[in-house]
Structure 1
């Protein structure tokens, strides 16, 4: 089975590719920076294709190796969630590119969305809930999901939308919470500045997230929107303290140093009922 992966050299892609290879898939990986692509430990095990989503080839399905399935991770402009770039540039480019792939013959598409599609709703967030994004990023992702859903129905393409919650692990954005915490631990700092820590979030290690994406893409029974999350409702303070314990580290938390973000609900986590079906639970 040939699986095309965009965003292969990114944080999630770098963990996903080895899992797909281990499960017997023939992987076609895209890149924009050739040097960054060839620097990956699994670089020689995949087929590489250069791709600029903002200027795709005329016949992308054939040009990208006529894949049996596709996992679309690529998305530009993060972690700026409020920039109009998401609606003005990413949305039309992704819509055109992915629709052309389906028109060319792609029969199975897994694309990644975001918990930001739920907006400011609190509590356990389920795929059956009405999405109500309050950020430009969330709005762009939701519109893309809707457009791809309709296009897939018209072309007879299996469509899966992995709605990602928070993740952490090796290779993450250095400005993310756990990356900054790990840097502080590595530097032997005595205190770590953070928010009040009472907000509830849903974090999943990137290895488990990558495994979930591979498992979703390699089956066809569970389709549509699928939350990819832990289902755990823990405060950020609890998550940080848990991380510190696992690192066998000692560092004091300077709670309340940063204000709470104004674009997220205070308490939310994801329902894992559909993801559990993917795993047969």
Structure 2
């Protein structure tokens, strides 16, 4: 199958490409300028195409002749990401229709069960809107919804890591986060589910992807502190609105402020699987990775000889193409 991976230089895309190649698929990799830039071990095994998602003609040229498309485009680092993400999705949907692409798989955010659209954060509302746009095309469209993705270089993981690093002894935790539950998933499990979803060309709708552990956010922070061998005292704060928390977390990390603020606003709801992908796609040929193991593997120092994006290596580890703010 010829699979187009949008944003192949991105965090998930750079890890998805070698997994698809290992399964025998032909990969079309897109980037804004149609080049690799990073010396990935797989970069000569794919065809590179330029795809500026805001240029409809370039999008049409990029998707020509492909069977399936992995949609990994998100614009959280842009203040106007809601409008831009919608336009990007519309351009891809229209190009997919024109080219006769059969199947689209979109990696989205987990939507809390039973939550009205009006109560969603802008981040999740945007993800849901993109899902609706892509589902309105002629291709079968499958959305995989994930909460916190664990792995070195993942924005949500880096917020946890960098806040823990820069507040070494005491960690303030807003009371509204104390009982909110989350079901994190390791990035290698995300990649495996993307591959399974792309291969299931008749599957449409949405599935939630999550790991084997469900915990509160304070419990997640405690597990991280335990793995690094540096316990923290958590101080409950009776009052700390999401806007203020997002600003504080943004100031404490190197992750782009707009991304941090968007992620923090999504912490108000339980982020656990209700339509679990395991019930449809099964587990990806092995036991899903737990939170403790995922954190431990993600903390491995970067080693070019064991690049997380290379074939046969560990996607949870750092990769040469990861954002500079994750190092």
Bigger shift: 256-265 or 267-276?
Answer: 256-265
Classify 1:192/1:221 alpha carbon distance in 2 versus 1 (closer, same or farther; 3 Å). Answer: farther
- The question of 1:226 aligning with 2:226 is answered no
Question: Structure 1 residues 36 and 193 mapped into 2: Cα distance closer, same or farther (>3 Å)?
Answer: farther
1:164 aligned residue? 146
Q: Aligned to 2:173, what secondary structure does the other structure show?
A: coil
Q: Is the 8 A contact 1:5 1:70 kept in 2?
A: yes
Q: Give the drift of 1:224.
A: 0.9
8 A contact 1:107–1:158 mirrored in 2: yes
Partners of 2:157 and 2:201 in 1: CA distance = 36
Cα distance, 1:254–1:7 mapped onto 2, change above 3 Å: same
Shift of 1:179: 3.1
- 1:7 is aligned to 7
Q: Is the 8 A contact 2:141 2:205 kept in 1?
A: yes
Instruction: Name the SS of the counterpart of 1:38 in structure 2.
Output: coil
Cα distance, 1:113 vs structure 2: 2.2
- Once the two structures are overlaid, the 10-residue window that deviates more, 215-224 or 162-171, is 215-224
1:270 alignment partner in structure 2: 273
Is the 2:67–2:101 Cα contact (8 Å) retained in structure 1? yes
| Equivalent residue pairs, number | 257
Question: 2:151, 2:157 within 8 Å by CA — same for their partners in 1?
Answer: no
Which consecutive residues of structure 1, in runs of 5 or more, have no partner in the other structure? 119-124
- Equivalent residue for 1:142, pick from 128, 136, 144: 128
For the 8 Å contact 1:173–1:179, the answer to whether it is kept is no
Counterpart in 2 of 1:98? 93
Give CA-to-partner distance per residue, 1:5-47, whole Å, 9 cap, x none.
1122112112222211211111111112567643333322222
For residues 94 and 4 of structure 1, do their structure 2 counterparts lie closer, same or farther at Cα, with a shift above 3 Å needed?
A: same
- How far is 1:52 from its partner? 0.7
C-alpha contact (below 8 Å) 2:141/2:203 kept by paired residues: no
Q: TM-score, normalised by structure 1?
A: 0.77
- Consecutive unaligned residues in structure 2, runs of 5 or more: 244-264, 285-327
The Cα offsets for residues 87-144 of structure 1, whole Å up to 9 and x where unpaired, read as 32220232122222222111111122222x44xxxxxx3xxx5762533333333223
The alignment yields a C-alpha RMSD, in angstroms, of: 3.1
Contact 1:31 1:37 in 2 (8 A): no
Map of 1:177 onto structure 2: 159
Could you say which residue in structure 1 is the equivalent of 2:235? 255
- Helix, strand or coil: the match of 2:280? helix
- State the partner residue of 2:169: 191
